[in-house]
Structure 1
Amino acid sequence: MLHEVLLALSGHPSPLFADQNSQTDQKEFPLISPSERALLRSIGRLSELHRKLKSHLESISAAHPSIICRSVASSILHTHLARFQKRILDVEGKILTKDASLVGAYEIVPLASVVGEFDDWHRRMAWYWQIACFFQPLKDASREQQRPSTPCSSAQVIDKLRAETQTGFPDIEEAATQLAKVAETAWLKQLSSWIIYGKLPAFGAHDFFIHVDGPDGQSFSKDNDLLPTFVSSTTASSILFIGKSLHQVKRHRQAKMVSIAVSGGGSADADLAMAHLSLLAALPLPLIPSQFSRTISEIRLSLSQNVLQQLLPMSLTRQVLMCLRHFFLLGRGDFAVALINEAESRVQSRQQSMGRLLQQDPVKAMQSLSVKDAELHQALQQVWKALAAEDSETTDAVLDYARQHISLSTPKAGTSRPSSSDSFESASADVVSTAFNDLLVPSPTELSLSFSSPVDLFLSTRDVDTYSAINSYLLAIRRSHQKASDLWRRSPARRDHPVTAQDGNARQRNRKRTTATRKVWATLSAANFLLSETSAFFEGEIITGSCSHFQEWTEKPATNFDPDVSAASTVDGPGERPAQRDPETLAAGHRTFLASLTYALLLTDTIYTRELRTLLGNIDNMIAFFTRLLDVQQKLDLEAQDGAGESPHTVEAEQHTSLELDRARKKVDSGLKAVVNRLRQLDLQRIGSLRYLDVRPGEKGDFEVWKGGGGVDRLLMKLEFGRMVEGGMGTASFDLV
């Protein structure tokens, strides 16, 4: 019977354990006592579990879609269950050699002693079965509709094994630790293919957290569902960045688009790959998250200092940033003025032509309301020509770059170009959905920047979208201010021309008009003052301070790693040369800068942007009605001078326009108060650390936001000072604050 027990434990079928749930064994084996039957029942459960486990593990190691699961299943099958088989052989050897620890007097082998030799395997074998079912759940025929047999992913396997090391049972902890080492070793082999050579794993790529994104196979993205929990999002972004960069370098070399210094270093590339591989091989298992993150950072910086600095030189980075600052953030005021003037002239010509077209073909006139991309392109080209004419004696490299890469067009929905810089996830401030891009021309337009590799190592499509939103926001404020200021240039609107003493009607009419438009001029003055101070505050203080701070950070040399721990030292020798920041750190700093800038420009506050957008629209309506009223009044004056008298139609038009103008003025008045009231609320809310976007400090060398922006107290003080000055001078003023 002992021989039968040992054979059954080894995984062979035995009549002793034919059916553990039946009572037939009492008739077939009447000589077995109840106590022995109870002992055999525990051995039977262990034997059955061993057979089921071997069969299930063999199917997993042969057909499971995850390479990690196959590795762990093979380890359980060939290593852990082999230890159980060795225990069986050890027990058999003790019986054959008549070991006193197992064989008693008269060569009697107690069944309880044999069963006791396997007591420590019951919990372990049950745990192995639980893990195997976690890898590939068994189909339950009775509940097949409720329990689908879905295999797990590699990330789930690693997370499960790392969690099982904390159960508190020493034997389970030991087994889980050993299996976690196997799983993480297989995962590191997949990872090494990506971060050493920029290639997806040859086997099990569908189970890796980096996937090909797009039909061209040139862009990649990460799937957080396939990412083990011990890998932080920052580390995963760095891994994605490293592989993307290597892939781009390889693509550039194939296209012969890089310099000899980059493309001709075959031995240097091999040395660098070996250095990075040695860093991965030196990692202890199971992986320690902090040490793993530090190793990935070293590989990233080593790659940047040895390869990517030649691929993305600082001169190109500086040129792109200057282009964004000059033309998207309106660092060049002449660009904003030229673009607004060109847009206004085209809108006016369109309105004149549409007025004639409405009488001929109303349907065609309505279709012509939308602005085509070709017209926007022509308008932008005229702006470039005007700027180039001003600097005809000098060569402006930034302007030339802008002419080649900046376009003005209608926004395209759902356009998203993946880029390497999308890999880094830093603190972000989402721009509100309030649209300011429909004020320059009647239809929505936006300024966009086209870029390709290697610029996409630090610049992403989302960054350009944010720049476009900021540009539309600043242009809308500048445009309204410019249109309001232009009214003061109309002499007939501000002063009355001399009339003869006999012409009393003209003098009385002028006096009546002056009295009627006094409130309009006061409201326009207040709106002009608010827009002027807001534009000066945003462009002169917030943008200038933030951009200068960020530019100083980008041009400041980065500190090299210690040569003892840096993989770069294996290639470059002692790191004494000043090194520029690696593209990923630059991308992270740039994204943090952009988030803090949108926060300081109040583009993250829904209430303020909504009130400001309403105010700008009402100011446009008010200016349009005021201009219309001035034209109607001029027509009345001409009719009076001709001696024909004022026509009833013109008088009715004047009355109607005056009424609409007064309504628009009241809306602007309430809009001004709403904007200033929201500024007051923001001044109370943004105090202390809330004055600026508080970004959690990351690894050493990260960009710190400019601490001078975010508060609106200086803007409110300027508005208050302007009100006091106007009131002290006795001029008509509007109580903004």
Structure 2
Amino acid sequence: MLHEILLALSGQPSPLVDPELGKTGAAPGPIPLLSPPEKALLSSLAHLSRLHALLCAHTARISSTHPSPICRAVSSAIATVQLGKFKKKILEVEQAILAKDSSYVGGYGIVPLSIIVSEFAPWTRRLEWLWQVAQFIQPEENGEGSPSTGAKVIDYLRGESHTGYGDLEGIALELVRAAETAWLRQLSVWLLYGELPTFGKDDFFIQARAPEDADELESSRGISDFSIRSDLLPNFVSSATAASILFIGKSLNRVRGRRNRSTLDTSSGSVTGVSLNNDHIQHLSSLKSPISSAALAKAVTEIRHSLSQTSLSKLLPLPKIIEVLSLVHDFLLLGRGEFVMALVTHADARIQARHQSTGIRKGLEGVGIKEGEVAAVLAQTWSEMSSLKNEEDPVDEELDLARDLLHLSINNSSRVATPSRDSRSAGLAAEISSVSFDDLLFPTPTSLTLRVQPPVDLFLSQSEAAVYSKIHSYLLGIRRAQIRLSGLWKHTAMRRIHPSPWGPPRSNTRGGEFRLRSQRERHNARNVQMRAIWATATAALFVLSEIGGYFQGEVVQGNWEHFRYWLQYAASPRLGTSSRPPTSRPGTATRPGTASRPQTSSRRGTESRPATARPIDSPRFSQFLAHQQLQQQQQQQQHDPESVTIAHRRYLISLTQSLFLTETGFTSSLRGFLSDIDHLIALVTRLADVQRNLDLEADDGVVDALVDYAQEERALWDELQSSRSAIERGIKDLIVKLRDIDDRRAGEGSKLASSEGVGVAAGSFVPGQQQTNANNNNVYVPRKPAGVDRLLMKLDSVNMTQTLAKGSDVEEDE
């Protein structure tokens, strides 16, 4: 009987333990020659036997069919290690019984069944817990639920390790070690070679973009894009560490693809292979289970720094980053004023050509623009800017680069955007107001987009390029309305005209005097009617000028100079003060054509003249300065590319927040205000044409029988009054929205939330000051622009309300 019991515990079928036993382990029928106490004791052993058999079968099925290598590793650890310990215990008990150990064998060679039961009693809890783990990994075929992922299993086991049972805690930690070892094997393939794991890549938290979602440029060049799936990410991996892992693998993937496409010597170029990988392997092998978030982040940071000093310094140098960001600032953020003027002028000319035969409509309704016309407008803009080149520097490399990377096209609704695949900017795109400004330049929604090419996509994603396009449409709408409002004053005949008399002898006749008197009375009446219109247009132009000046000068230009200063001059902690710029103002340090303030020797000890200084023209002194400059250049290192990526993300988030693009109320009011301005400009322009035709009818007798210009003039005056009232309401609404923003931000405080979910308090970056994080890395802190209260003070300084009221009073008197 003892032999049958031990065989049953080993998972073998036995008549003492029916394989169809219930969960309680009780036999379905009576067993002869067994007393009721023996049957009760045997039920616990039967339960163990059943659990052992179920675990063996279920773990074998998991190890052979489960898609996750992590789950297979855990299942194999249960079958080989944990159940192996159980089988070893069975052998130890059997050996002790055969050796007649007094702990098991009593008098007359009798082995009490209670001793066997008590010996295996602790294993009941262990096997039940292991069965729960196996069920969590993959439920039974007739059970509910789908197989778990590797990340869920790791998180589950790490949670189960915090228990009050010491034996279960040890088993859980052993299974965690097996699961994390399998996960590290997947991670090492990505961190060392930039490739997804061959087996189980669907269970890895980094996924390749689907072929149907890939861009045409990526498909043509054989370039793969990758993204992070948060549901496959273990909890001990922070979002910042996951972003670093994604960046490292993408960089290696780009390096490998570039090496395969080029014919350059690999020994002098990119990753050297063995020595670099050995360093990376040492960092990964230093991780001990259970892996802590800090240790993993430190290892990933070391690998990232190692890559930055070798391959990435050649793949993505700092001048290339600054070149692309300068292009974005000059064209997408309207840093180049001539580009905006040329684009608006050619777009209006194209619309005017299509609009001449349609009459007056509100805004730009009824005018259709085709893709070819939009491309032609951009081509004319490039041609005009090319003609403005300086004779001393006829080559404008930035303009040539902009021709290749910037494209003005109609927004196609059939193109399905997938911002969720880009975890870096999905949150930023979701926070931006849904109010659209892309239909202000043309009646059809258009956008100026930046084509992100490798290796620029390592720090600038396509989603961030889309955010820049939204900012461009937003700023361009304000600037376009400002340009078109200023153009109203070109209608000199409507603004100031004093008809002069005919020359003698006709001016001395009664008819000449009557004609002169009637002309002056007509123009005086028109001037009185237009006073309120001009006052409203002046107020609207002032509001647009102040808001646009605040956005372009304080926000866009100030943030860009601050960010560019950080890119070029901010020293890492180990460089000390040797790389500080010659001035403490970030704007003047990088602004072209601005003289910098000379530094004293007390502030720059490395460039101070020694006590026994030789004359300036001394060859030794010149050699000393050249040696010092060369040594500083060798010591100075560019920022880590991922640090640049995170800094650019914070810069973009700060930019959108400072431009109020996240304020839906303000953007909605501004959008309506710009539409009302377009309507007012169209009405004034049409009124000028109608009054010109009326003057021809009254003075020269040129009559158009098909059009009643007098009736049209009266209708235009009525529409102008309603349009003027709408603009006045829009101005007041904008000021109210700005005050709400000022009160809310002053009360809550400005806080910059990075895309990784880490809050960074906004503040000003002090030039030359070392700012470090917990990892002792140089951190970019976005610039905090002037508050909204300054903008409100400028808007209130002209007492706009009284100006509008005076215009209304004049109109009522007339």
SS at match of 1:103: coil
Provide, for residues 323-380 of structure 1, a one-character-per-residue CA deviation record: whole Å limited to 9, x for no partner.
1111111111111111111111221122236679x9xxxxxxx999322222222222
The equivalent residue for 2:606 is none
CA gap 1:35/1:475 in 2 versus in 1, 3 angstroms: same
Out of 663, 675, 681, the residue aligned to residue 623 of structure 1 is: 681
Distance across 2 between alignment mates of 1:62 and 1:83: 22
Q: In structure 1, what is the equivalent of residue 183 of structure 2?
A: 187
Deviation at 1:211, TM superposition (A): 2.1
- Kindly report the root-mean-square deviation, in angstroms, between the aligned alpha carbons of the 2 structures: 3.1
1:103 matched to 2:102? The reply is no
Of the candidates 200, 206, 218, which is equivalent to residue 202 of structure 2? 206
CA shift, 1:260, in A, is 4.9
Cα contact 2:690–2:713 (8 A) shared by 1? yes
Residues 212-611 of structure 1 aligned to structure 2 (within 5 Å): 212-215=208-211, 216=219, 218-256=224-262, 260=265, 264=269, 268-352=272-356, 369-393=367-391, 394=393, 395-413=395-413, 422=422, 424=424, 428=428, 430-500=431-501, 501-502=513-514, 503-556=516-569, 559=572, 577-611=635-669
**Partner of 1:10 in structure 2?**
10
d(CA) in 1 for partners of 2:199, 2:524: 88
Change (3 A) 1:255 1:291: same
Cα deviation for residue 529 of structure 1 reads 0.8
Which of 698, 705, 710 is the aligned partner of 2:782?
A: 705
The amino acid across from 1:428 in the alignment is L
What CA deviation, in whole Å up to 9, does each residue of 1:436-458 have, x standing for no partner? 11111221111111121111111
What secondary structure sits across from 1:439 in the alignment? coil
Q: How does 1:663-674 map to 2 (within 5 A)?
A: 663-674=722-733
Q: Is the 8 A contact 2:21 2:27 kept in 1?
A: no
Identity %: 42
Find the residue that maps to 2:749 and give its secondary structure: helix
Deviates more, 1:575-584 or 1:464-473: 575-584
Contact 1:692 1:707 in 2 (8 A): no
1:131-146 alignment to 2 at 5 Å? 131-140=133-142
Structure 1 window deviating more from structure 2 (60-69 vs 639-648): it is 639-648
Matches of 1:330 and 1:73, distance apart in 2: 59
Deviation at 1:606, TM superposition (A): 0.8
- Maintained 8 Å contact 1:377/1:409: yes
Q: Report the CA distance shift for 1:692/1:9 in structure 2 as closer, same or farther (over 3 A).
A: closer
Whole-angstrom CA distance in 1 between matches of 2:225 and 2:699: 73
Residue 85 of structure 1 aligns with an amino acid whose one-letter code is K
Q: CA deviation at 1:75?
A: 1.4
- Structure 2 distance, partners of 1:265, 1:631, is 67
Q: What is the alpha-carbon distance in structure 1 between the residues aligned to residue 266 and residue 789 of structure 2? A: 52
Q: Could you report, residue by residue, the CA deviation over 1:17-45 in whole angstroms, capped at 9, with x for unpaired residues?
A: 22656987875423x22222211111111
Residues 367, 544 of structure 1: alpha-carbon distance in 2 compared, 3 angstrom cutoff: closer
CA contact under 8 A between 1:448 and 1:464: conserved in structure 2? yes
Runs (4+) off by over 6 Å: 22-26, 416-421, 644-648, 724-728, 730-734
Deviation at 1:281, TM superposition (A): 0.8
Q: In 2, are the aligned partners of 1:499 and 1:506 still within 8 Å (CA)?
A: no
Residue 520 of structure 1, CA deviation:
0.8
Q: Specify which of 173, 177, 182 is matched with residue 177 of structure 1.
A: 173
CA deviation digits over 1:378-435, x for unaligned, max 9?
A: 2222222222222241122212211221111112346589999946469737321111
Q: Quickly say closer, same or farther: Cα 1:226–1:527, change in 2 above 3 A.
A: same
**Partner of residue 598, structure 2:** none
The superposition leaves residues 668-721 of structure 1 with CA deviations (integer Å, 9 ceiling, x where unpaired) of: 111111111111211211216634645513764332111124x31111111112
Q: How many residues get paired?
A: 704
- Report the TM-score, using the length of structure 2 for normalisation: 0.81
Query: Take 2:461 and 2:778, find their aligned partners in 1: how far apart are those partners?
Result: 21
User: For the Cα contact (< 8 Å) 2:194–2:250, is it kept in 1?
Assistant: yes
Aligned to 1:637: 695
Structure 2 CA distance for partners of 1:150 and 1:251, relative to 1, 3 Å = same
Q: TM-score, normalised by structure 1?
A: 0.89
Is the 1:629–1:657 Cα contact (8 Å) retained in structure 2? yes
| Structure 1 pair 157–369 and aligned structure 2 pair: CA distance change class (3 A) | same
Q: Single out whichever of 62-71 and 19-28 deviates more from structure 2.
A: 19-28
Q: CA deviation at 1:579?
A: 1.8
Q: Secondary structure at the match of 1:119?
A: helix
Contact 1:618 1:668 in 2 (8 A): yes
Cα 1:355–1:706 shift into 2, 3 Å = same
Q: Deviations over 1:91-114 (max 9, x none)?
A: 112222222222223333222112
Residues 526 and 733 of structure 1 are in contact (CA less than 8 Å); yes or no, is this contact kept in structure 2?
no
Note if contact 1:65-1:204 (Cα within 8 Å) is conserved in structure 2. yes
Tell me if structure 2 keeps the 8 A contact 1:557–1:579.
no
**Alpha-carbon deviations, 1:568-596, whole Å to 9, x = none?**
xxxxxxx9732212222212111111111
Distance 1:323 1:262, change over 3 A: farther
Equivalent position SS for 1:163? helix
Q: C-alpha separation between the residues in 1 aligned to 2:655 and 2:186? A: 39
Question: For each residue in 1:78-132, what CA deviation from the matched residue of structure 2 results, as whole angstroms up to 9, or x when unmatched?
Answer: 1111111111111112222222222223333222112111111010011111112
2:494–2:527 Cα contact (<8 Å) kept: no
Using the TM superposition, name which of 103-112 and 677-686 deviates more.
Answer: 103-112
CA distance in 2, matches of 1:491, 1:335: 27
The answer to whether the 8 Å contact 1:557/1:580 transfers is: no
Q: Give per-residue Cα distances to partners, 1:486-526, cap 9 Å, x unaligned.
A: 12222211112234453322222222212211111111111
Structure 2 unaligned segments of length 5 or more: list them.
212-218, 502-512, 576-632, 761-772, 810-814
For the 8 Å contact 2:227–2:421, the answer to whether it is kept is: no
Q: Secondary structure at the match of 1:408?
A: strand
Is the partner of 1:428 in helix, strand or coil? helix
Q: Give the equivalent residue in structure 2 for 1:572.
A: none
Contact 2:62–2:72 (8 Å) recurs in 1: yes
Instruction: Choose 121-130 or 400-409, whichever is displaced more.
Output: 400-409
In 1, Cα distance between the equivalents of 2:5 and 2:746?
78
Question: What corresponds to 1:143 in structure 2?
Answer: none
Distance between the aligned counterparts of 1:686 and 1:116, measured in 2? 69
CA distance in 2, matches of 1:589, 1:449: 20
Cα distance in 1 for residues equivalent to 2:562 and 2:166: 55
Q: Tell me if the contact between 1:233 and 1:425 (Cα under 8 Å) persists in the aligned partners.
A: no
Provide the residue aligned with 2:66 in structure 1: 64
